Amino acid sequence: MKRKLSLALVLLSINALASTITIDENSLINISKNTSVPQLDKIRATMLLAESQSGEANDALGVEVYGVYNSIRTKEKAIIAQIPVFSPITQYQVGIKKNFKYGLQANIYTTIDNRGTENGTYENIYTTTQALELNLDLWKDAFGRVTKRKLENVELVTKQSKIQADINEKVFRLTLRRIYWSLVANQEKINISKNLYKTALKQAKDARKRKANSIADASEVARYESQVAARNGSVLLLGFEKENILKQLRTMLPDLSTKDIQLGKYSLNKTLFEVLACTS
């Protein structure tokens, strides 16, 4: 029974250690970089959407290679011998299309037509056609005014989305730092309030001793006990504030939602020196 109890305690200790994470300013930034963060994912998705739209607009001006194959066969008989019915007919076409931002569309293609007659009068009649087609829109997209503006707009939107994504990521990490230092400030307040609470307990105890020795009256004891209650209330309030700060942190970094978050070591003097060095 003792062995089972010891094993259970060991497992509980391991689970407790596994669910506890010690954080500092740098570790929070690393977590945001190396894990899936919904807020950052949304920022990156917006940027990728803009890049995708830019790619689609540029693809519309890309080179298109195409090929066409037709095979026609009929059992129709010629009504007039001098006008034969050709069958089978085989046609091949290979071409290249290119759209330009000035509203011009170019199409270069080669067509091969091979035909004959069923009775063998005509066989392997080849006709090769090479052509260049140029189409210019003079109404909706005269000289590419619409196309050029669309491309310029897409390019500007892409640049804007990248800049905005960079700004949003920096704001996100600045918010993480702010939350971290709010935790540090809260912890310092808790430490001070706990020390004040201990001092108030000692003062109240001394006051009760003095009253027992008829040195202090009941009002003095009541005043110190009231101070004890106030100091304890401050500690509880700060604990509530700490939980709200941790809630914000877990919302920003969902990977911490199941973790017991503990503050790592920090140096206020070092941080103050770094801040002063940056502002000097």
Contacts of residue 201, defined as CB under 8 A and 6 or more positions apart, other chains included, come to 228
Give the chain's length.
Answer: 280
Amino acid at 36: S
In the prediction, which pLDDT does 273 show? 65
In the prediction, which pLDDT does 10 show? 47
In the prediction, which pLDDT does 180 show? 92
In the prediction, which pLDDT does 189 show? 94
Q: What is the DSSP letter of 16?
A: H
* CA dist., res. 178 & res. 266, Å (int): 15
In the prediction, which pLDDT does 11 show? 47
Rg (CA), the chain: 41
Paired with 91 in beta bridges are 70, 113
* CA dist., res. 279 & res. 203, Å (int): 43
In the prediction, which pLDDT does 3 show? 54
- Residue whose structure tokens are 């919302």: 251
**Nearest C-alpha neighbor of 114 from the set 75, 71, 68, 81:** 71
In the prediction, which pLDDT does 188 show? 92
Q: How many CB atoms lie within 10 A of CB 227?
A: 18
Residues of the chain under the 50 pLDDT cut: 1-2, 5, 8, 10-12, 14-18
For 248-259, b/e burial (b = at least 16 CB within 10 A) is: ebeebbeebeeb
Where is 58: in which H helix or E strand?
Answer: helix 38-59
In the prediction, which pLDDT does 183 show? 93
Looking at the whole model, is its pTM more than 0.95? no
Q: How many CB atoms lie within 10 A of CB 208?
A: 15
